Amino acid sequence: MKYEFVIIGAGPCGLGAAYHLDKLGHADWRILERSDHVGGLAASYVDSNGFTWDVGGHVLFSHYDYFDRAVEESLGDAYYEHLRESWVRILGTWVPYPFQNNIRHLPDEALQECLHGLRSLSGDPSAAANFREWMESVFGAGIVKYFMEPYNSKVWGMPLESMSREWIGERVSVVDLSRIERNIAEQRDDVSWGPNNRFRFPKQGGTGAIFEGIVRPFKDRISFGCDVCAIDFGNKVVRCRNGEEYHYDILINSSPVDVLVEQSVDAPEPLRDAVSGLVHNSGLIVGLGFSGRRVDPKCWMYFPESSSPFYRVTNFYNYSPNNVPRGDVGRFFSLMCETTYSPHKPVDSATIIATTIAGLVNSGMIESGQANDIVSRYLIDIPYSYPVPSLTRDRALAVIHPYLEAQGVYSRGRFGAWQYEVGNMDHSFMQGVEVVDRIMTGATEQTFKGGNQK
Ligand SMILES: Cc1cc2nc3c(=O)[nH]c(=O)nc-3n(C[C@H](O)[C@H](O)[C@H](O)COP(=O)(O)OP(=O)(O)OC[C@H]3O[C@@H](n4cnc5c(N)ncnc54)[C@H](O)[C@@H]3O)c2cc1C
């Protein structure tokens, strides 16, 4: 089979490309998707007991009118809107996020250490050689010791000195000392910080419902069960495990770019070397469905301490009552717990459900007796969870993307582009939209950074 555009992956990025091609009236394209559903990492699942789960806490922070319109077309008014409220569990207390603005909640000794660190900042963040140095120069020793270091080690599962600082932007809230001191003096909290403090969540079907809706007009153009296993750049053909072959003029890839290169029959050695500079971590998402009623307005919570394996827990029943069986939040609630694993941070998937439950008890999220109220246990293993902004990344991408584009291969999305700072759902969707625009009209891509744009 031959198409002008072949798109690998029906996650947000591949769907963004397809959605835009469809809007432009272009018909000569096909999506190859290895699973039997759309959404990729932004899909949702209903377990056998009737609880709905996302692949970790997914919150929609859109930076784009175009994506907002696509979501509106998809959901209509079938969504709830929530005020984003996140907290840090630390030293037996709850501190609203962003942590540094709300350190007044800490026990006095830790508070003084954090303040001392903030008041004696000396390093220049713009001269920091890596993420760890950047944290120390921005937050000071106390906040690094109590929150930044342990939390980031848990999320990334990487030595923090092996990560760059260039990705940070709006992803990490930085420091305003006078505001922090005023918050302490006036006993005031900063909650719901950030680029937008409200988020929408589908009434039914979890986050994945957004993409189930977006795909409706062109679902018949997706070949499900097509697991691409080989690519021949020279002859412009991909092969799938089911034996099908697809020829293309242009390939838009949203599968992990390191795998794509490994699967190629004709990648030159420098390209193969370059992908060894890409680092990712993996994740285990544990969904626990409970019988009983829980009243806790928090959306999600961060856990920097070693008393739990997870770095984040979402009160998922709060996002929609339909995330629990029969929509009955009077009788059921659900917690979604995310743990990172990596070669630097091995985690045993055989015991993660048990250690997650113990961690919930240790951190005061549930009483020990509530472990008996668990009526559903759901585990999702994600081999590719976060594309790590490692010190080796940009050098690798400067080889990979120009080479691929010279072959008519545009690799975009969370693991296609491998740019964490633009790796959320909205970014990934728009990377698909924008690359189509670039190919069709010569427009410059705004979201994807890098490549050899003409
Ligand atoms: C734990 C976690 C929490 C997150 N939280 C948020 C959040 O709060 N807000 C937010 O906006 N984003 C969040 N994200 C990011 C969001 O999931 C991604 O931005 C988005 O899913 C990326 O879309 P994508 O299409 O680039 O890639 P993916 O979602 O990875 O989709 C890629 C698709 O390609 C398919 N595929 C892969 N290999 C092949 C192959 N060989 N052949 C055929 N098909 C293939 C896959 O099956 C998949 O469907 C989170 C991600 C994780 C892991």
pLDDT digits (tens, 9 = 90+) for 284-316: 999 999 999 999 999 999 999 999 999 999 999
pLDDT at 50 over 50: yes
Q: What is the average per-residue pLDDT within 437-445?
A: 96
pLDDT at 453: 44
Indicate if 285 and 375 belong to the same structural domain: yes
pLDDT confidence tier of residue 454, bands split at 50, 70 and 90: very low
CB 320 within 8 A of CB 203: yes
Q: Is the CB of 162 under 6 A from ligand 1?
A: no
pLDDT in tens, 249-266: 999 999 999 999 999 999
Residue nearest to atom 20 of ligand 1 (CA): 425
**231 within some domain:** yes
Q: Is the CB of 228 under 6 A from ligand 1?
A: yes
Q: Domain for residue 285, yes or no?
A: yes
**Is the beta carbon of 42 within 6 A of some atom in ligand 1?**
yes
Distance 224 CA to ligand 1 centre (A): 16
Specify whether 163 is located in the same domain as 103. Answer: yes
Asked if the structure places residue 262 within a domain, the reply is yes
Task: Give the domain range for residue 113.
Answer: 96-186
Mutating to test ligand 1, I would choose from 19, 32, 41 the residue with most ligand atoms within 8 A of its C-beta, which is: 41
pLDDT tier for residue 171 given thresholds of 50, 70 and 90: low
227 and 319 share one domain: no
- CA 129 distance to own-chain centroid: 25
**Residue 446, in any domain of the structure:** no
Average of per-residue pLDDT values in the chain: 95
Residue 354 class from Cβ within 10 Å (0-12 exposed, 13-18 middle, 19+ buried)? Answer: middle
Residue 174 in this model has a pLDDT that exceeds 80: no
Nearest residue (CA) to ligand 1, atom 53: 385
Residues 113, 164 within the same domain: yes
Domain shared by 269 and 397, yes or no: yes
Asked if residue 309 and residue 234 are part of one domain, the reply reads no
Q: Are residues 135 and 219 in the same domain?
A: no
Mutate to test the pocket of ligand 1, among 154, 424, 427 (most ligand atoms within 8 A of CB): 424
Assess if residue 220 is contained within a domain.
yes
Q: Are residues 335 and 290 part of one domain?
A: yes
CATH number of the domain at 335, please.
Answer: 3.90.660.20
- The finding on whether 252 has its CB within 6 A of some atom of ligand 1 is no
Q: Which of 366, 387, 408 is the last residue of a domain?
A: 387
Q: Evaluate if residue 192 carries a pLDDT over 70.
A: no
Percentage of the chain modeled with pLDDT above 90: 90
Q: What is the pLDDT of residue 294?
A: 98
Q: Is residue 181 domain-resident?
A: yes
Closest by CA to 408, choosing from 247, 224, 268, 272, is 247
pLDDT at 166: 84
Q: Which atom of ligand 1 is nearest to the CA of 416?
A: 26
- The pLDDT tens digits for 359-402 are 999 999 999 999 999 999 999 999 999 999 999 999 999 999 99
Shared-domain flag, residues 423 and 374? no
Task: Tell me: pLDDT of 67 over 90.
Answer: yes
Q: How confident is the model at residue 191 (pLDDT cuts 50, 70, 90)?
A: confident
77 within domain boundaries: no
Residues 182 and 301 reside in one and the same domain: no
Q: Give yes or no for residue 176 having a pLDDT over 90.
A: no
Total domains present in the chain: 3
Confidence at residue 237, expressed as pLDDT on a 0 to 100 scale: 98
User: Does ligand 1 come within 6 angstroms of the Cβ of 138?
Assistant: no
Ligand 1 centroid–CA 349 distance in Å is 21
pLDDT digits (tens, 9 = 90+) for 103-132: 999 999 999 999 999 999 988 888 999 999
Ligand 1 atom nearest the C-alpha of 283 is: 1
Helix and strand counts by DSSP (H, E) for the chain: 12, 20
Q: Which residue's CA lies nearest to atom 48 of ligand 1?
A: 40
Q: Is residue 173 part of a domain?
A: yes
Q: Is the CB of 423 under 6 A from ligand 1?
A: yes
Residues 230 and 299 in one domain: no
Same domain membership, residue 156 and residue 126: yes
Per-residue confidence (pLDDT) for residue 452, from 0 to 100: 42
Segment 150-163, tens digit of pLDDT: 999 999 999 999 99
CATH, residue 263: 3.50.50.60
Q: Whose CA is nearest to atom 3 of ligand 1?
A: 56
